[in-house]
A and B are shown apart, each in its own frame.
Chain A
Amino acid sequence: MYGRPDRDGEEQLGLLGSAWENTAQHWQDGVARQFETDHWAPLAERSRAYLGALRTLLDMLETAERDTEF
């Protein structure tokens, strides 16, 4: 049974964020800092932007369905 995809996506991003925090505790060299700047930060930011847009869209789709149930 699926829930709303935006919520599942946010949950996955949360899990990945926790995994990164755990990794960052153990990996603290220059390569790690470069990885955070080049990969992790953009990935997290773009994922949040997508999931936010998806949430707005799905809210609108639900409203459209409700508003046309006569």
Chain B
Amino acid sequence: MTRVHADIEALKGFREALVRFRYAEREVAERADDAIEATRASLAAKASGWQARLEQDRAALEACQATAAQEEAPADCSAYARAVQQSAERLEQVRGWQQRVDQDASEFRGTASGFRDLLETSVPRAENQLQAAAASLEAARRVEAGPG
């Protein structure tokens, strides 16, 4: 490649790099959305699981307390009570994270939307600008070279 055409080749090369960047970052943005949804689904499943476990533990505690009320020597239901408390705490922790994920994902959505707009509008505009600049340089070189 002659030095006089190095700028044109560089422009074309950068335009191709921009196209690759646009496609690659679009995929990054899609995977980011997938990651958010995957975590939401995971936390929803955990919340559902701990809700069911809490109801089960509460039923076991109530059964123990009912039995204790009927017997002369009171049964020890403290283990059931501890299980209820632990399930409730874990459910609360999962729900806390659900709220945090919803809030942070919502805030992130604004930045993500701007980035998608960049990829869909600004980057193609830059690609067109490079194409036009390369064409302009090529036309100027043809004039400089003269006929023949």
Spell out A's residues near B (CB within 8 Å): 2, 5-6, 8-9, 12-13, 15-16, 19-20, 22-23, 25-29, 31-32, 35, 38-40, 42-43, 46-47, 49-50, 53-54, 57-58, 60-61, 64-65, 67-68, 70
Contacts and interface: CB of A to CB of B under 8 A. Distances in A.
B101 A60 contact: yes
Interface of B: 6-7, 9-11, 13-14, 17-18, 20-21, 24-25, 27-29, 31-32, 35-36, 39, 42-43, 46, 90, 93-94, 97, 100-101, 104-105, 108, 111-112, 114-115, 118, 122-123, 125-126, 129-130, 133, 136
Contacts of B7: 26-29
A57 B36 contact: yes
Contacts of B18: 16
Nearest to B126: A39
A70 B88 CA distance: 13
Given A35-B133, A50-B111, A2 B101 contact: no
B100 A64 contact: yes
Nearest to A35: B129
B32 A57 contact: yes
B10 A27 contact: yes
A27 to B, nearest CB: 4
* Shortest 10 CB-CB contacts between residues of A and residues of B: A19-B17, A50-B115, A26-B10, A5-B31, A9-B28, A39-B126, A23-B14, A64-B97, A23-B10, A26-B6
